[in-house]
Amino acid sequence: MTATTLTTPDRRATVPQWPAGSGGPGALAQVFSRIRDVAVMTRRNLVHIAREPMQLSDVTVQPVLFTVLFIYVFGAGMSLPGGASYTSFAVAGLLTMNLVTSSMGTGIGLATDLASGMIERFRTLPMWRASVLVGRTISDLLSAMVCATIVAVTGLAVGWRTGHGTWSVLGGFAVALLFSYALTWPTACLGLFAKAPESAMSVGFVVIFPLAFVSNALVPTRHMPSWLRVIADWNPVSSVTSEVRNLFGNPNPLPPNPSWPVVHPLAAALAWSFGLIIVCAPLAAYLFRKRTTD
């Protein structure tokens, strides 16, 4: 009689598919594995930007142009209550406005990766599915930091000064960057929903443009028609801009009979920021899973 030896396949040699993720047997190992996946995806996006620096034009060239043009064009004919400096008034608004308009990069980047088939390549790797989304938003947050720095440097060059200490000023930048990061999640949803990068860009412009300009970023809302002033006062961009001005120690004139977000800009800014993340991050994960499931 001949003995037959049965061999059991080595399961450790099997490469797990995308939905399985990559992680060790314990929860802590899985957390570190996911952090590593996010770091790899973030680095991938930064390397892609380094190879094509023109992608950063919206956070490098645009802030300089917006800051110089709006301050000298609007400032030439703008009169603020009490004779306050328009430059001091405008820089916080320009900071928020530039961060808002540049947030569309997240949606366009995801739509481009989907259209080019890059996401299909990622699916063959033993990685955490959501790392594609988280890595994209983190890399765009780093780009937003570059944008904020350029706005600040350009503002200082044209005469902007703060009235509060260093920690208060850093708090103002933190509020603006938190809102910028929060906006990357709804724009990610838009990029995942769109069929092509061009669609994401055009629809995003229609949404982002009024969001940035129907606010107190460039002009006080007190001079707007009553119906438009209500919209502007409840615009999250107005809340973020008002709180940034308060933390910078810059003039922030209030409209008559101000709405709740105008009186409590910090609470409104944080509520909008965390609300967008809480609602749109799971929605983006769902849309991503739907777009990448056979």
pTM score:
0.84
| Residue 243: band (very low, low, confident or very high) from pLDDT cuts 50, 70, 90 | very high
pLDDT at 25: 52
Q: Average the pLDDT over each of 11-15, 46-50, 167-171 and give the range with the smallest value.
A: 11-15
Most confident range, picked from 13-27, 127-141, 158-172, 196-210? 158-172
| Residue 11: band (very low, low, confident or very high) from pLDDT cuts 50, 70, 90 | very low
Average pLDDT, integer, range 243-259: 90
- Greater confidence (137 vs 10) lies with 137
pLDDT at 207: 86
Asked if the model's pLDDT at residue 51 lies above 50, the reply is yes
d(CA 256, CA 262): 11
Q: Average the pLDDT over each of 125-139, 204-218, 231-245 and give the range with the smallest value.
A: 125-139
pLDDT at 271: 96
Asked if the model's pLDDT at residue 17 lies above 60, the reply is no
- Greater confidence (81 vs 218) lies with 218
| Residue 21: band (very low, low, confident or very high) from pLDDT cuts 50, 70, 90 | very low
pLDDT at 20: 44
Average pLDDT, integer, range 1-9: 42
Mean pLDDT of the chain, nearest integer: 82
Query: Which of 66, 250, 267, 263 has the alpha carbon at shortest distance from 169?
Result: 250
Helix (H) or strand (E) holding 73: helix 57-77
Average pLDDT, integer, range 245-253: 92
> CA 47, 144, 61: angle at the middle one, nearest 5?
85
Asked if the model's pLDDT at residue 175 lies above 90, the reply is yes
End-to-end CA distance of the chain: 49
Q: How far is CA 88 from CA 59, 158, 171, 239, in A?
A: 21, 10, 17, 17
Average pLDDT, integer, range 28-33: 78
